[in-house]
Structure 1
Amino acid sequence: MNARPAVSYQLVIEVTRSLRVRVGRLGTFEFAAGVYVYTGSARRNIEARIARHERKSKPLRWHIDYLLAARGVRILRVVRSGCAECALNRATAGQIPIAGFGASDCRAGCGSHLRYLGVQPG
């Protein structure tokens, strides 16, 4: 049985302490310490997109770039999926911390492609 190729991905992100981040034109926001999940996709070469997210030094282009560039923020793991980006995002638990984050081109009414899962026991 063939698995569907990855068309979307989720970054599981740890914010080690509360911080304030300017997210491009979206504005400046407070991020509580804890775990977040960002859902994204790439029309071509999803692995290159993921590798770009994992680099600390890069031009800040997308909302997620601003969060990932902040001190005390790291990607814990990457989950690849054959599900469409918005379907995957809507199936993800958690609270929407910032309306519109990562969802500038969303036509499915997700509200945000970033979810806050809270502080995880560890």
Structure 2
Amino acid sequence: MPKITDQVSDSGIYLLEIVVPDDFYTEIKKYEGRKFPKGFYYYAGSAQKNMRKRLERHLKKNKNIYWHIDYLTSRFNIGKIFYFNNCGKEFECDLVADLIEKFGLIPAAPGFGNSDCNRCDSHLLYSEAPLDYSHFISRYQSIARFIPSSNDTF
């Protein structure tokens, strides 16, 4: 499990990698009866204040379910976290668009995690395989920071 460090600023954008080992159904009424395939889910989020606390909350398994993403993070492990310190909210949608266009991720569920966004179909993206991390880090090297899972060895 990733460990949040003091290098995470108070505000910014983050990308959670959620590792899903088996197909699943969710308790979210909007997606009732919809089968989600096993694989890697990437959730782009914004925290314009208290980003460290937001990321720590995402890592907790036992929590009150408040956001759509809570249904996944309370059930499945977060593999990696990428964060972008002090980036404005508009970068969240730029990141989603880039992940779709340049990395081939696909929107996982219409309206998931983007109730305050008119630009994106979803802020939850899906891939059968993990991101090409070296390509991702290379593309965003000047602004991206990475919190590895405890399973990563670098």
TM band (smaller chain): 0.7 to 0.9
For residue 89 of structure 1, the aligned residue among 96, 111, 130 is: 96
Aligned residues: 112
1:55 counterpart residue number: 60
TM-score, normalised to structure 1, is 0.84
2:134 counterpart residue number: none
2:110 counterpart residue number: 99
SS at match of 1:105: coil
For residue 81 of structure 2, the aligned residue among 63, 78, 98 is: 78
Report which of the two has the higher share of helix: 2
For residue 34 of structure 1, the aligned residue among 28, 36, 39 is: 39
**1-structure distance, mates of 2:23, 2:111:** 20
RMSD: 1.6
Residue type of the alignment partner of 1:75:
I
Report which of the two has the higher share of strand: 1
Q: CA deviation at 1:30?
A: 1.7
Specify every segment of 5 or more residues in structure 1 that has no aligned partner in the other structure, as ranges: none
Q: CA deviation at 1:118?
A: 1.1
CA contact (8 A) 1:33 1:119 kept: no
- Please identify runs of 4+ aligned residues in structure 1 that moved more than 6 A: none
Q: CA deviation at 1:119?
A: 3.6
TM-score, normalised to structure 2, is 0.67
Larger radius of gyration: 2
